[in-house]
Structure 1
Amino acid sequence: MLSELTANAVADSLVRREARPLAEVEAAALVRPPALDALEALRPSSHVKVIAEIKRSSPSRGALATIGDPAALARSYELGGASAISVLTEGRKFGGSLDDLEAVRAAVALPILRKDFIATPYQVLEARAAGADLVLLIVAALDDRELRELYDLIIELGMTPLVETHSAEELDRAAALGARLIGVNARDLSTFELDRDLFGRLAARFPAGTIRVAESAVKSADDVAHYRAAGADVVLVGEALVTGDPIANLSAFLAV
């Protein structure tokens, strides 16, 4: 499934590239105001921090929420105390787009993550051109050369890579990059099975000084507390926010 999602995301980016060549996107990326400091926004504190996600659907759950106005939802997240906002821009399975990211960028002052299946420099440049401050890199989808190339480009453009892992070997690869923001996804993107305890099993492998992000399997404040007790500095939450009251849920999560 991960290979298919990545291949489709790259194919869709090639279609966009025909309409908007690399040079044009690069020029747009370079004239953007500097990216916001996501590491500062997400730095460890006395309470857990939340990356709140705008997510219409998923391959595992199907349709979740219509979200006709992603900017309005983003403003709710900001009002509710989120430290950053994740915008899913994959269109086939998640119903997102770069237009969503641009709308959110215009609406809030928080760092914004482009969450997609990133595998090419063009997609990274698209992210900056649309106003992203962070870009997701999924270790399982990339070989070491690709991972290093994309990581370095994200840094060069002034953004922050969120390097996502799902095993000890992948976390070690993220650490070898020098990544300062590393996530552990409880959902295996090959099988879509969930393992809420995976973060805790891998927590000791995070390098000192790394911001530790727990992703997926957050339905309640108890789940947030579970991750916090295991050492998470940040949780990334989508489904629980888009299917419920985002401000009330954020309030409960942030009280952990």
Structure 2
Amino acid sequence: MTILDTIIERKKEEIKISQSKASVEELKDSGFFGRKNLSLKESIKNKSGIIAEFKRQSPSKGIINDNVSPSEVVSAYQTFGASGISILTDKDFFGGSFDDILNVREQINIPILRKDFMIDEYQFYEAKSIGADVVLLIASCLSPTQVKEFTALSHELGLEVLLEIHTEEELKHCHSEIDLVGINNRNLKDFTVDLQHSVQLKNQLPENVLSIAESGIYNLEDFRYLKEQGFDGFLMGEYFMKNKNPRNAFSDFIKNIT
């Protein structure tokens, strides 16, 4: 089994536990469930294009930074011009939790992406109930039919969809209702990074699709190269989080690209 297979098996167990604790109807009673969601598509167009991520750890890197709070980091991301915030909610493999979104939702007024492994309808109601604006659909975890069904459900709930792909085969998961397409520079099965591969995939996307370069952006040169190749947005976490002070790292990065 790959690490992705292991994560998905664990995710199935987590969902069963969550469903036993709160029904969909109970999730709908959340104070955030009725809020009007913010648009990441519009924010990508009008701001820096950077979806700045709060991430404590990952399977490939281990602990990245577990000494800062979501509140201090994401408020700085907003202050210095992030288009959106990505927050990991997977606990076992990424050290995240729902509280990481709940504790910052009312502090910021830019879109929040719930970044997790979405494989069940229940998770979309969860995302809405904790104040997320966008959900991530990972093509390698889903069939094209599931992507269509989950996109329709997301839109019913007022959530936007970021579809993540990594291979040419996964291009068939794209369809006209997808809001944004992310191309992961990192292979989730072996964690290798290949920016050129991502550019080749991006060039096969429909022209009107907003494209997001995800992961493996380690320096200004990587960012500038991907921007020159026509990517509209950039999902970046480790670059900032590996710094003792992610706030300063993000501020300095923004100064260098503007």
Counterparts of 1:169 and 1:104, CA distance in 2: 37
TM-score normalised per structure 2: 0.92
In structure 2, the gaps of 5 or more residues are none
Deviation of 1:67 after TM superposition, in Å, equals 4.4
Residue in 1 that maps onto 2:163: 163
Counterparts of 1:242 and 1:211, CA distance in 2: 25
Residue in 1 that maps onto 2:235: 236
Residue in 2 that maps onto 1:134: 134
Residue in 2 that maps onto 1:225: 224
Deviation of 1:17 after TM superposition, in Å, equals 1.7
CA contact (8 A) 1:182 1:213 kept: yes
Higher RCO (Cα < 8 Å, 6 or more apart): 1
Counterparts of 1:51 and 1:64, CA distance in 2: 18
Question: What code does the residue aligned with 2:26 have?
Answer: E
Structure 1 residues 22 and 205: CA distance shift in structure 2, 3 A: same
Identity %: 32
Stretch of structure 1 that moved more, 160-169 or 203-212: 203-212
Deviation of 1:157 after TM superposition, in Å, equals 0.7
Deviation of 1:29 after TM superposition, in Å, equals 7.7
Q: Is residue 213 from structure 1 mapped to residue 215 from structure 2 by the alignment?
A: no
CA contact (8 A) 2:27 2:125 kept: yes
Residue in 2 that maps onto 1:7: 9
Deviation of 1:173 after TM superposition, in Å, equals 1.8
Counterparts of 1:22 and 1:131, CA distance in 2: 15
What is the root-mean-square deviation in Å for CA atoms of aligned residues? 1.8
Q: Is residue 105 from structure 1 mapped to residue 105 from structure 2 by the alignment?
A: yes
CA contact (8 A) 2:143 2:173 kept: no
Task: Judging by fraction of residues, say which structure has more helix.
Answer: 1
For 1:146-185, list aligned pairs within 5 A: 146-174=146-174, 176-185=175-184
Question: What code does the residue aligned with 1:232 have?
Answer: F
CA contact (8 A) 2:33 2:130 kept: no
Residue in 2 that maps onto 1:64: 64
Report the secondary structure of 1:222's partner residue: helix
In structure 1, the gaps of 5 or more residues are none
Residue in 2 that maps onto 1:201: 200
Question: What code does the residue aligned with 1:8 have?
Answer: R
CA contact (8 A) 1:48 1:235 kept: no
Counterparts of 1:65 and 1:148, CA distance in 2: 35
Counterparts of 1:68 and 1:247, CA distance in 2: 10
TM-score normalised per structure 1: 0.92
For 1:40-119, list aligned pairs within 5 A: 40-43=42-45, 49-119=49-119
Question: What code does the residue aligned with 1:53 have?
Answer: E
Deviation of 1:48 after TM superposition, in Å, equals 5.1
Counterparts of 1:21 and 1:205, CA distance in 2: 41
Stretch of structure 1 that moved more, 120-129 or 202-211: 202-211
Report the secondary structure of 1:193's partner residue: coil
Question: Across the two proteins, how many residue pairs are aligned to each other?
Answer: 253
